[in-house]
Structure 1
Amino acid sequence: MPMLTVDATAADVRSALWSVRLTFLLTGALFATWVARTPTIKDELGLDEAGLAIAFAGLNIGAVFGLQLGKFVTLRFGSRATLRAAMPLFALTLSGLLLAGNLVGLTASVFVFAVVNSVVDVAMNAHGVAVEQASGRPLLSGIHACHSLGMIGGSLVGAAVERGHVALPAHFAGVSVLATAAAVVGTRRLLPSATDRTVRSPKVARGIAGHWPARLVVLGMLAFCVALAEGAANDWTAVYLRDETHASTTIAALGFALFAGSMFAGRLVGDRLVTRFGPVRPFLVGTLAAGLGLGAGLLIGDTIAALIGLAAFGFGISFTLPLAFAASGTVSTVAPARAIANVSFVGYLGFFTGPVLIGFVAQSYGLTVGLAVPVLFVVLAAAGAGALRPR
């Protein structure tokens, strides 16, 4: 089966590993900064659930466009070159959210934010798989753990500034400047762009069917399901805790930190689970545990039950998306960079589709029913776990 071409020393791989970890950390922190202050933004602009869903629709449209752009740029120039340009730009777009003075402004600014976010997402996952294959051992779950660590940090800072009544401009601008500087310095040691830049070859299948063999289609569907569930929790956790369980805004922000913390813990152990049991059983058990945990929390309906359910949900789905990405890099007949970009595109399409879908369901039936949607999707994903089995 095809593998990514990596011509690097062990020291180069170690340096690239730390660089890609930093990239995941920064993206998590930037996105959590937006998520943790979503209730405040909602209140300051006077939005209801439908209004917030419209803003999430702008996020979704920007994400879809960015995924296509990220796929093209990563395949054309390689993930290193893409990250060197897009990661600092993503950090700067956080400050663009400060331009939102109404629903239209918020929708436009999150559109730009999502475009660049998606470009970074495709490139950093492609680079993470390249580093994993260069090292010869499971690493991608641990790499994704750095994204969760960034989410924890960003959400904790969000909770602190919320409690201290820090203005949104000071918060967002400060995080944006620090993340931009870190991105410029931190992406210098990534593997060469030639590692995963697509080179035309008669041995590589072409056409839609050639780029999407059956196993890759299933892996894309699995990535879509678990990413939809994660995206839904990311964007609606704080709002659910405050509006449905009547938690304070501080507890709502801390609840998101708990979800991100459980994601981080699960991803820390994910690589060890794969080494011991293979990818299928951890994926199956994780998705089922996530569905049962969040489902039970929604049925009980109080703040404590919701927090416990979110923790179980985060831990269960934590390593499922990295497993789908890693498996896509081993699909035969498709160049690994293209396979990873394809599955990343479908997966992150789910990531940004979930919040919009839940917003409109919540508008008609309530947010508790809306959050039952990710429960359904992770249970559906469990049925396709066999596609991750090594061939």
Structure 2
Amino acid sequence: MKDKKLVINRIAVSTFFFVNGFLYANWTSRLPELQRFYGLNNAQLGTVLFCIALGSMASMPFAGWLGSRFGSDKIVKIVALLFCISIPMVALSQNEWLIRLCFFFLGAASGAMDVTMNGQAVLVERLWGKIIFSSFHAIFSIGMALGAAVGGLFSNFQVSLQTHLNIIGIFGILPILWASTKLIRDHIHEPVVATNNLKTDNFLAFKTILPFGIIAFCCMTGEGAMVDWSAIFMNTVVNQSELISAWAFGIFGVSMTIGRIFGDYFTLKLGKQKLMLIDALLAIFGLGIALFFVSVWSTFLGFFLVGLGLSTIVPIVFSSAGNLKNISPSAGISMATSIGYTGFFIGPPAIGFLAETFGLRLGLGFVLGLFVMMAIVLLRISEKED
């Protein structure tokens, strides 16, 4: 039986993952309404969503440095509270420049929270003594699925956007305040790489992470596309109600949760490379179904398979990056997330521009191409290991 204190540590870190997913899914599930509230077309919405990318990309390397310098336990509690505060801000104004600023702040807080809470997850996994990293991302996915369901209910009962986001912002703060007192103390003043040849070893660390970063980029572009465009796809392409559209996103979240719940088991059973290759093929097949057979049920099935396929790739990549020798978890994860989250945040705006010009089906076809690229990279990695 595990030490009680360590169990509490695991619950506390899981709380950060849950709150992050729950809050993020709440506002994204109402993105069609937010788009109308802003009065933006797909291309303009893509530009606004790009501000999330800018904020996140600016904050993640900085968060990694702060986590290494002062401890991820100290930084994650600050950025998590900032993230909770940022959620109600997205519906404060219809001024396009103020919207951009709010989304930049949201992206910065979200990106910093991702880096530091994953750093805490690595520390818990090390002390736990077995592979449990996927379970944290399962908790995140549970939060996403429940957040999408709650967002759909708020929409169905026609609760105003601002009231809805104010309520969930406050809801997020309360568990974060508790969890902040139960974290594992990270080592501070830890150099990024503890050797005499800092530049060389940093380059070697980056070179080691790069192939997995490319995989994460392709995977997280797909995940970001599902988060930001699945509801809009069901609403505008399949011509369904806002409630059904929110459920489309919820189906994706549920399948991500299922995959991550069993992710640690299948990682041990199949090995990291083989599992990620199977995941990539599931994502290709699922998105293909959704794009080529446009109906409610084919979209539900397709999004379910995409979620199942993407579920364990990112946890495997982040766990590997956080356990590199002679590098702090926050610094290693910062390198992986800076590559991977580029896709998560830049992909959806790019899809917005493609959707405005060619239609949303072809816009998401870009993601399908990235899934194929991901499978090719995984095949090459597997060949090298063989």
TM-score exceeds 0.5: yes
- Contact kept, 8 Å, 1:100 with 1:109, in 2: the verdict is no
Equivalents in 2 of 1:120, 1:359: separation in Å?
26
**1:3 corresponding residue in structure 2:** none
1:82 lines up with 2:72 in the alignment: no
Mapping for residues 169-318 of structure 1, pairs under 5 Å: 169-194=162-187, 198-199=190-191, 202-203=194-195, 205-207=197-199, 210-211=202-203, 212-318=205-311
Note closer, same or farther for the CA distance 1:367–1:275 as it changes in structure 2 (3 Å cut): same
Equivalents in 2 of 1:304, 1:135: separation in Å?
41
Note closer, same or farther for the CA distance 1:204–1:100 as it changes in structure 2 (3 Å cut): farther
Equivalents in 2 of 1:56, 1:42: separation in Å?
11
Point out where structure 1 has 5 or more consecutive residues left out of the alignment. 1-8
Mapping for residues 327-338 of structure 1, pairs under 5 Å: 327-332=320-325, 334-338=327-331
**1:22 corresponding residue in structure 2:** 15
Shift of 1:241: 0.7
Equivalents in 2 of 1:27, 1:381: separation in Å?
26
1:121 lines up with 2:97 in the alignment: no
Equivalents in 2 of 1:96, 1:86: separation in Å?
15
**1:102 corresponding residue in structure 2:** 95
Partner AA of 1:323 in structure 2: I
Equivalents in 1 of 2:113, 2:14: separation in Å?
13
- Percent identity over the alignment is 26
**1:4 corresponding residue in structure 2:** none
Equivalents in 2 of 1:131, 1:168: separation in Å?
37
**2:349 corresponding residue in structure 1:** 356
Residue 43 (structure 1) aligned to one of 36, 40, 43: 36
Deviates more, 1:68-77 or 1:52-61: 68-77
Equivalents in 2 of 1:197, 1:181: separation in Å?
30
Instruction: Tell me the TM-score normalised to structure 2 length.
Output: 0.94
- Contact kept, 8 Å, 1:198 with 1:338, in 2: the verdict is no
Deviates more, 1:223-232 or 1:335-344: 335-344
- Contact kept, 8 Å, 1:76 with 1:197, in 2: the verdict is yes
Shift of 1:380: 1.5
Partner AA of 1:376 in structure 2: G
Equivalents in 1 of 2:385, 2:119: separation in Å?
19
Shift of 1:337: 3.9
Deviates more, 1:37-46 or 1:116-125: 37-46
Equivalents in 2 of 1:382, 1:204: separation in Å?
37
**2:54 corresponding residue in structure 1:** 61
Equivalents in 2 of 1:167, 1:110: separation in Å?
19
- Contact kept, 8 Å, 1:262 with 1:312, in 2: the verdict is yes
- Contact kept, 8 Å, 1:205 with 1:334, in 2: the verdict is no
1:91 lines up with 2:90 in the alignment: no
Note closer, same or farther for the CA distance 1:17–1:102 as it changes in structure 2 (3 Å cut): same
Shift of 1:100: 2.2
Partner AA of 1:261 in structure 2: V
Equivalents in 2 of 1:141, 1:163: separation in Å?
33
Deviates more, 1:100-109 or 1:17-26: 100-109
Deviates more, 1:152-161 or 1:10-19: 10-19
Shift of 1:20: 1.0
**Secondary structure of 1:99's aligned partner:** coil
Partner AA of 2:333 in structure 1: I
Shift of 1:358: 0.7
**1:70 corresponding residue in structure 2:** 63
CA RMSD of aligned residues (A): 2.1
Partner AA of 1:294 in structure 2: L
- Contact kept, 8 Å, 2:61 with 2:335, in 1: the verdict is no
- Contact kept, 8 Å, 1:227 with 1:351, in 2: the verdict is yes
Equivalents in 2 of 1:262, 1:92: separation in Å?
29
Note closer, same or farther for the CA distance 1:336–1:62 as it changes in structure 2 (3 Å cut): closer
Partner AA of 2:135 in structure 1: G
Equivalents in 1 of 2:174, 2:206: separation in Å?
41
Deviates more, 1:111-120 or 1:201-210: 201-210
Note closer, same or farther for the CA distance 1:172–1:192 as it changes in structure 2 (3 Å cut): same
Point out where structure 2 has 5 or more consecutive residues left out of the alignment. none
Deviates more, 1:321-330 or 1:111-120: 321-330
Equivalents in 1 of 2:304, 2:26: separation in Å?
20
Equivalents in 2 of 1:118, 1:202: separation in Å?
26
Equivalents in 2 of 1:247, 1:96: separation in Å?
28
Shift of 1:11: 3.0
Equivalents in 1 of 2:63, 2:312: separation in Å?
23
1:134 lines up with 2:96 in the alignment: no
- Contact kept, 8 Å, 1:71 with 1:345, in 2: the verdict is no
Shift of 1:197: 5.9
Shift of 1:218: 1.0
Residue 371 (structure 2) aligned to one of 356, 363, 378: 378
